[in-house]
Amino acid sequence: MVSAAADEQRAAILETCREALAATAPLKRAAQASIDELSELDRQILVERHLISRELSGAKNGSGVVISPDQTISVMINEEDHLRLQVLRAGFQLKKAWAAIDALDTALEDCLDYAFSPTLGYLTACPTNLGTGLRASAMMHLPALVISGQMEKVVRAVNQLGLVVRGLFGEGSDASGSIFQISNQTTLGESEDTIIKRLGSVLHSIIEHEINARARLVENDAAKLQDKIGRAYGILQHSHLLTSGEAMNLLSLVRLGADLGYFPEDSRSLVDRLFIEAQPGHIQHVSKSDLDPAQRDSRRAGHLRTEFAAFPAPNFLNGADAKPQNDN
């Protein structure tokens, strides 16, 4: 296990894993790096893109990452465990994501020996990951549940089912853009299939609640909702200082507007890109010099102003009961 491994052992394991990974079809032409080769900024950008974990970004020598050319697969080596496979899929594709990761895992068995016990399953460093070792999760954009103050209720209900919701949901501030990550908490005692099915059905019911909350907002509070979305659009077009939290909040409202038909359908993918580009590491990346937080706020506002200069104005006559789009 990683915690007890000496530096040379970690290096040897990194090499073995890299070789085994390079031998699998999806990772033949993958990019790979040792964490210590990467600058702090590179690591931050990988974290903001969900390609590595915060834990890996702070890891010592002998840790690394392998990322497929299309960035849908990333494998962390010597993070908490020697190997952590991750598959990312846009949209509602839990089963496909599991199929991809299952196939990769099976291919790796040709070269790698897993620590496995018939009763406890995969023997991970932390007992909370025992069994399948599977964390299935979905990122969901739930602005209407946040606006209508129902998130706490949803979190409680989801907890009852053994799932956990991550995200910020304090009153007033919406610094994470109403984006929540919902995932299974328990990994032992259930098969991968069961875990994924349960998560899937919970996600469907959350989506249903979000749709209902949107419908109620449109029905009862249309003026308030349109005011929020219209102001968000105005600020994104004209502001000169934006913190990342504020940017997330504004982009979230525009995304909701796109879902409700106030903005053209294809504008949502632009907003999704901006969600990533507005994060601190990405803002720093496009700048040539080191930025302090105030300078970053200025650059962020500048970038969003440029992008929103050509963004069509909201058309509030076009309201429809659109469905929320979610990523996992």
Partner 1 sequence: MASPLKCNLCSKPATVHLTQIVNNKVHKVDLCEECAQAKGVTDPTGFSLSDLLLKASLNTEGSDTGPRCEQCGFTQNDFKKTGRFGCPHCYETFKALIEPMLDNMHKGTTHTGKVPQKALARKSLYDRLTTLELDLSEAIKTERYEDAARYRDEINQVKQAFGEKPAE
Beta bridge partners of 116: 122
8 Å CB contact between 142 and 136: no
305 binds partner 1 (CB under 8 A): no
8 Å CB contact between 73 and 100: yes
9 binds partner 1 (CB under 8 A): no
Q: What span, in angstroms and rounded, lies between the C-alpha atoms of 12 and 51?
A: 23
The amino acid that residue 161 corresponds to is L
Specify the stretch interacting with partner 1 by CB under 8 A; choose among 178-186, 219-227, 228-236, 294-302: 178-186
Q: Which of residues 45-84 bind partner 1 (CB under 8 A)?
A: 50, 53-54, 80
CB atoms closer than 10 angstroms to residue 323:
11
Q: Least CB distance from residue 133 to partner 1, whole Å?
A: 9
4 binds partner 1 (CB under 8 A): yes
Nearer to partner 1, 158 or 225 (CB): 158
Nearer to partner 1, 69 or 127 (CB): 127
Q: Least CB distance from residue 214 to partner 1, whole Å?
A: 21
Burial annotation 143-178 (CB, 10 A radius, 16+ → b, else e): bbbbbbebbeebbeebeeeebbbebbbeeeebbbbb
Q: Least CB distance from residue 229 to partner 1, whole Å?
A: 23
Nearer to partner 1, 15 or 193 (CB): 193
Among 11, 92, 102, 211, binds partner 1 (CB under 8 A): 102
201 binds partner 1 (CB under 8 A): no
Among 27, 134, 142, 247, binds partner 1 (CB under 8 A): 134
What would the x/- binding string for partner 1 be over residues 10 to 29, using CB under 8 A? -------------x------
Among 41, 123, 218, 241, binds partner 1 (CB under 8 A): 123
117 binds partner 1 (CB under 8 A): yes
Nearer to partner 1, 142 or 322 (CB): 142
Among 21, 75, 130, 145, binds partner 1 (CB under 8 A): 130
Among 9, 16, 34, 186, binds partner 1 (CB under 8 A): 186
Q: Least CB distance from residue 128 to partner 1, whole Å?
A: 4
8 Å CB contact between 77 and 18: yes
Give me the residues that bind partner 1 (CB under 8 A), please: 1, 3-4, 23, 50, 53-54, 80, 102, 105-106, 109-123, 125-128, 130-132, 134, 156, 159-160, 162, 164, 166-168, 176, 179-181, 185-193
